[in-house]
Amino acid sequence: MACFTTILPGKCELLTLSRQQCVEIALRDNPTVRIANMEIKKVNYAKKETLASLFPSIDFSAAYQRSIELQTIRMNMGGESQSLKMGSDNTWNMGFNASLPLIAPTLWKSISISDTQILANLESARASRLDLVNNINKAYYALMLAKASHKVVKENYDIAKLNAEVYEKQFKAGTASEYDVLRSSVQVSNLEPELLQADIAIKQCSLQLKVLMGIAGDIEIEPDVTLEDMQRDMYVYPSNADNSLSDNSSLRSLDIQKQLLSKNVDLKKLAWLPTLGASFNLSWLSLSNGSPFKNQEFNPYSTVGLQLSVPIFSGGSKYYGLKQAKVQLKEIEIQREDLLNNLNMQVDLAISNINREARQIESSAEGVKQAKKAHEIMQKSFEIGAASFLDLRDSELANTSAQLTYLQSIYNFLVSTSELDLLLGKEPEL
């Protein structure tokens, strides 16, 4: 469980989180992931909209028509031409219309395409989650590195400050020159910007992590482990590890896109097939003269029928549309082959980098031990006057550099493993 600690009344809270907890919060609250999940819902609704086309469509309509001048016809009756008025003043027409597709090959294939589109959106949402997890990992590791680097710089600052105090005491006792006092004091001043920069780096990394997690800015995040604690889990990447690209999101998305294009080819072919639909009509008609609201007598009538549509000629549009769909399918097959080759090379390179960085960690850890021991010896020598300030300063710089190199190598290893997990499409272990 997350640990909350109030620092001061009215101030921000300290939230101690593991990397897994940061990932859980981000997957729940990050806007990008939430939008991706909404896209899945949207496609599901689109599929239901297509399925609705298989059901009967029922409409109600009503119309009223008032004649201004009735139609006149002339007829010869008994050798004489007579004029007759035809029609009525008022015409009311209302009723229900129903239609149902009986044979609709393109509609049936569209439903299948909708299923594949849902898979495409699911994979897109999965890709967003994997990318977010990778960014969370890198931001979390960056925060760990910033805090560890701050600790190293602070220790170096404290040592420089202690040495300056020693020179101050020696100067007052008459065993050190004013130059030594000024030089040690300048050294403390030179380290203050580095310490400030380390503080800024922590704030920047913390802000980036909070933005990715989608949490408020008045909460400070504290990792529950240090980079040194994580070294015990770092070994050379095993050669027998599962490096299959079957879960790679880009490859899976391309495969789904290939399925869509293949079904689109089938859809183009089905455009040549006939369609058959049924219709039913139930209406009421009323004809009257005078007031439109009096003496109305509605008489029902109904019809039922079938409508067959057979495509014969469309100027070649269907033919060239099918050719275009086949070309698109061939293109994506070539793209997949090229992508697979590139991904295999990226995996090999990533594993090589991880193994190299693991060896770098071992080498840097040994360098830290040697630099620390050398600094301790030089510190003792300086305290008894057997070493100069420059010798001491050189040992301090070497010790600080060794520690920062060691921390950086751990960070590089962690980031590389996260990038490899993203490349292989591995889901986070929560």
| Chain segment 35-91, per-residue pLDDT in tens | 888 888 888 888 888 888 888 899 999 999 888 887 777 777 666 777 777 778 888
pLDDT tens by residue, 236-289: 555 556 788 888 999 999 999 999 999 999 998 988 899 999 999 999 988 888
Where does the pLDDT of residue 136 fall: very low under 50, low under 70, confident under 90, or very high at 90 and above? very high
The phi and psi torsions of 301 (rounded to 5 degrees) equal -150, 150
In the block, residue with structure tokens 């009986």:
102
Q: What is the pLDDT of residue 239?
A: 53
Contact 381, 111 (CB under 8 A): no
Instruction: Give the neighbor-by-neighbor strand order of the sheet with 57-66.
Output: 57-66, 90-103, 275-288, 299-309
Task: Return d(Cα 143, Cα 149) in angstroms, integer.
Answer: 10
The answer, yes or no, to whether residue 199 has pLDDT greater than 70, is yes
Are 231 and 365 in contact, with CB atoms under 8 Å apart? yes
Which residue in this structure is represented by tokens 């009421």? Answer: 284
From first CA to last CA, the distance across the chain in angstroms is 13
Can you tell me which residue has the tokens 């529950």? 224
pLDDT at 198 over 50: yes
**What's the mean pLDDT when you consider all of the chain?**
85
Choice among 46-50, 114-118, 183-187, 230-234 with the minimum mean pLDDT: 230-234
pTM value surpassing 0.85: no
Q: Please answer whether residues 214 and 225 qualify as being in contact, where contact means their C-beta atoms are separated by less than 8 angstroms.
A: no
Amino acid 88: pLDDT: 81
Provide the token pair at 420: 């490899």
Type of residue numbered 122: L
Question: Which among 351, 411, 427 is positioned nearest to 201, based on CA atoms?
Answer: 411
Question: What pLDDT sits at residue 234?
Answer: 61
For helices 178-213 and 389-424, angle between their N-to-C axes, nearest 10 degrees? 10
Q: In this predicted structure, what is the pLDDT of residue 30?
A: 82
Give the C-alpha separation, 414 to 422, whole Å.
13
What pLDDT, on the 0 to 100 scale, is given for residue 237? Answer: 54
Cα–Cα dist 123/36, whole Å? 10
Which three-class secondary structure string do you get for the chain? CCEEEECCCCCCEEEEECHHHHHHHHHHHCHHHHHHHHHHHHHHHHHHHHHHHHCCEEEEEEEEEECCCCEEEEEEECCEEEEEEECCCEEEEEEEEEEEEEECHHHHHHHHHHHHHHHHHHHHHHHHHHHHHHHHHHHHHHHHHHHHHHHHHHHHHHHHHHHHHHHHHHHHHCCCCHHHHHHHHHHHHHHHHHHHHHHHHHHHHHHHHHHHHCCCCCEEEEECCCHHHHHHHCCCCCCCCCCCCCCCHHHHHHHHHHHHHHHHHHHHHHCCCCEEEEEEEEEEEEEECCCCCCCCCCEEEEEEEEEEECCCCCCCHHHHHHHHHHHHHHHHHHHHHHHHHHHHHHHHHHHHHHHHHHHHHHHHHHHHHHHHHHHHHHHHHHHCCCCCHHHHHHHHHHHHHHHHHHHHHHHHHHHHHHHHHHHHCCCCCC
For range 312-338, the mean pLDDT? 90
- Closest alpha carbon to 42 in 115, 113, 121, 100: 121
| Gap between the Cα atoms of 150 and 202, Å rounded | 8
**Residue 197 above 60 pLDDT?**
yes
Mean pLDDT, to the nearest integer, of 163-185? 79
Confidence class for position 180, pLDDT limits 50, 70, 90 = confident
Supply 319's token pair.
Answer: 């033919």
CA-nearest of 248, 10, 27 to 123 is 248
Residue-wise pLDDT for 144-170, tens only, equals: 999 999 999 998 888 888 878 877 887
